[in-house]
Chains A and B, each alone.
Chain A
Amino acid sequence: MRLSNKQVDRIATGVFYFFAFLIIVILGGLIGYILYRGIGHISFDFLTSPPQTFKVGGGIGPQLFNSLFLLVLTMLITVPIGIGAGIYMAEYSRPGKFTDFIRLVVEVLSSFPSIVVGLFGLLVFVNYFDLKFSLLAGALALTVFNLPLMVRITEQGIRGVPREQKEAGLALGLTRWKTITKVMLPVALPTILTGTILAAGRVFGEAAALLFTAGMSSPRLDFTDWNPFSPVSPLNPLRPAETLAVHIWKINSEGIAPDAAQIAAGASTVLIITVLLFNLGSRWLGRYMYRKLTASK
């Protein structure tokens, strides 16, 4: 029997609907499964207490702190450099060989496997700069990994600024740099900010680049010691630090605590919730700032 064109069309449409909903179901299932497995394990105690190697009841306190602190450090390094390079690409670069070359550099840099970036960090930051396994080495490695994204975001934001605004600034006799920083950058801020938050979510979940830079161990931390030069202080950027994502990987591959599976589930839940918050936060902030800055409903 030969199907008529109409029937074929109907079948194809059904197939498209099926796969589209399958993708939604996969995501729903993925998040639902992690929350279902892990949410029962999350408690204040779990979030604040240190991990145990052999006993039941270990927490993820230091790892959570390390992840957040590393995020802040990375962003402190990435944002100024990324915005600077993005401004160059959007405003100062002239079309030509050199600009094409930088564009290629950004593209290549963003597609390097994160494990390679981690190895580079191991060789240069950890060994040559003698930073040892430390938060700072980890932050530098993550900067390499994050910089191309930041450059693209900034360039996009700056290019999105209406031409009239730039020209008005220049017409008033402002220098190009003044026009960029005082007129264009504030207008581009919503785009840049939402992009930055998304990038931050990526940094928060990154593990492969950190295995050999920030290390896989966390020393005993004294949360009452806030002197950044003390070796047990949580704020010391030169101490080794295992982040949450690395911790999940480690207990999955070599965890020997009897409740390793639950801890992995709980930690994954915390990670997912944080990433979701970053994602929703950037969406909300983008919409809020757009409304605020353009006076549209």
Chain B
Amino acid sequence: MKATIEPSTRSSEGANPAAPTPGEAVSQPMNVSSNQSTGGKPSGNKPVARKRSRSGNEWFGKTYTMICVSVLIITIFSIVYFVASKGLATFFVNGVSLKEFLTGVKWAPDGEPQTFGALPFITGSFMTSILAACISAPLAFCAAIFMTELMPKFGKTVMQPVIELLAGIPSVVYGFVGLSVIVPFLRSVFPGQGLGIAAGAIVLSIMILPTITTIATDAMSNLPRGLKEGSYALGATRWQTISRSILPAVLPAMLTGVVLGIARAFGEALAVQMVIGNAPHIPNSLFESASTLTSVITLSMGNTIMGTVQNNVLWSLALMLLTMTFVFIFIVRVLERRSLR
């Protein structure tokens, strides 16, 4: 009996004042008489008109939500279409060779023989984001273990909000802090200006920490209880349990998180641009000025004229970012499918 009372009171509380009727409807078996005296509205006096407005109402809802969904679909197709048409123009209209673009190491859009070798940016992007993931993944694993195994209560009340806050801090603020704390620190410890891939990777590793941590934590709290308890019952210590049964079980999810983190780091523009130094060549060390795909787009887009080859080649870089997004999503999907099986 109690089971029927609870949803009824809840629903009438919850839907009030917009819809008092559902609550009454649910509580009907409880008190039929009172319901008849208070709840019954006169209804059904104009069946034809009501029917039309009913179907009209339903039609409106369906159409409206369909339009909203089609906005999403149109948006994504037009993004791909516009960026691709601009980015491919470099190769088909301006005649830059794709091989030179992907493997050339010299970037001189205004040089006398113009050269458009984007390899320095491609390597810069991959190095910063993969390095960031290498720093971030172990930290995220520790944080997730801490939140699920060691101190769940503290984890939920302090750790979780901290992680969420880290996710909410704007990227320009990360860039500002990187520029005024991390770069001077690297400059004083290592040779060089401090600007470079190392600084970019450190800033990015903090930015992607929430992504990986959240996914790892979710995976750990969804593990079947028997897994852990079985291990403890066999006399394993906590570390043995973590390293031999929890870690292998959450590894696919961890990997998904890492790929998502890399994807986010790969597309991050301003925070990286502020600390990487923006020199258009492949650096000899991690502490030397370098560039990424995003940083060169950010810097040069405003200084080139639409339609020129110097501008089109930036769109080719953007097309590359776009393609990499699809690649990352594909990897994530494959990983998810494998972990489902």
Contacts and interface: CB of A to CB of B under 8 A. Distances in A.
Interface of A: 5-6, 8-9, 11-13, 15-17, 19-20, 22-24, 26-27, 30-31, 33-34, 37, 80-85, 87-89, 91-92, 102, 104-109, 111-117, 119-120, 122-124, 127, 144, 147-148, 151, 162, 164-165, 168-169, 171-173, 175-178, 180-183, 186-187, 198, 201-202, 204-208, 211-212, 216, 245-246, 248-249, 252-253, 261, 264-265, 268, 271-272, 275-276, 278-279, 283, 293-295
B281 interface: no
B89 interface: no
A13 B61 contact: no
Interface stretch (B107-115, B116-124, B177-185): B177-185
B19 A183 contact: yes
A23 B143 contact: yes
Given A112-B325, A172-B21, A177-B61, A117 B171 contact: no
Given A12-B239, A27-B162, A169-B22, A19 B7 contact: no
Nearest to A203: B170
B135 to A, nearest CB: 11
Contact of B65 (A6, A92, A208, A283): A92
A123 B315 CA distance: 10
Given A92-B65, A113-B268, A144-B75, A33 B177 contact: yes
Contacts of B11: 162, 164-165, 168
B142 A15 contact: yes
Given A33-B181, A119-B83, A113 B294 contact: yes
B267 interface: yes
Contacts of B245: none
B15 A165 contact: yes
Contact of B15 (A19, A108, A183): A183
Chain B interface bracket (under 10, 10 to 19, 20 to 34, 35 or more)? 35 or more
B168 A275 contact: yes
A16 B145 CA distance: 7
20 contacts: A11-B239, A13-B238, A13-B239, A19-B139, A20-B151, A23-B166, A23-B209, A92-B65, A105-B76, A113-B321, A113-B322, A115-B297, A115-B298, A116-B79, A168-B11, A177-B57, A180-B61, A205-B168, A271-B170, A294-B10
B46 to A, nearest CB: 14
Interface stretch (B66-74, B97-105, B249-257): B66-74
A127 B266 contact: no
Given A24-B158, A34-B177, A109-B72, A84 B67 contact: yes
Given A34-B173, A115-B298, A165-B15, A9 B240 contact: yes
Interface in B1-52: 7, 9-11, 13-15, 18-19, 21-23, 25-26, 43
B131 interface: no
A124 to B, nearest CB: 6
B69 A102 contact: yes
B301 interface: yes
A113 B172 contact: no
Q: Which of A12, A26, A201 has the most CB of B within 10 A?
A: A12
Contacts of B75: 109, 144, 147
Contacts of A176: 58, 61
Majority secondary structure of chain B interface residues (helix, strand, loop or mixed): helix
A5 to B, nearest CB: 5
Contacts of A91: 65
B198 interface: no
B180 A116 contact: no
Contacts of A204: 170
Given A109-B72, A111-B329, A119-B315, A187 B159 contact: no
Contacts of A164: 7, 11, 22, 26
A5 B18 contact: no
A113 B266 contact: yes
A84 B66 CA distance: 8
B240 A5 contact: yes
Contact of A115 (B57, B142, B321): B321
Given A30-B169, A105-B73, A106-B72, A175 B61 contact: yes
B7 A187 contact: no
Contacts of B145: 16
B270 interface: yes
Nearest to B275: A252
B72 A186 contact: no
B182 to A, nearest CB: 11
Contacts of A183: 15, 18-19, 22
A114 B159 CA distance: 28
Contacts of B72: 85, 102, 105-106, 109, 147-148, 151
A263 to B, nearest CB: 11
Contact of A84 (B14, B65, B164): B65
Contact of A212 (B10, B302, B328): B302
B176 interface: yes
A246 B172 CA distance: 8
B62 interface: yes
Question: Which 4 residue pairs are nearest across A and B when measured between Cβ atoms?
Answer: A205-B170, A113-B267, A177-B61, A84-B68
B235 to A, nearest CB: 9
A168 B25 contact: yes
B169 A23 contact: no
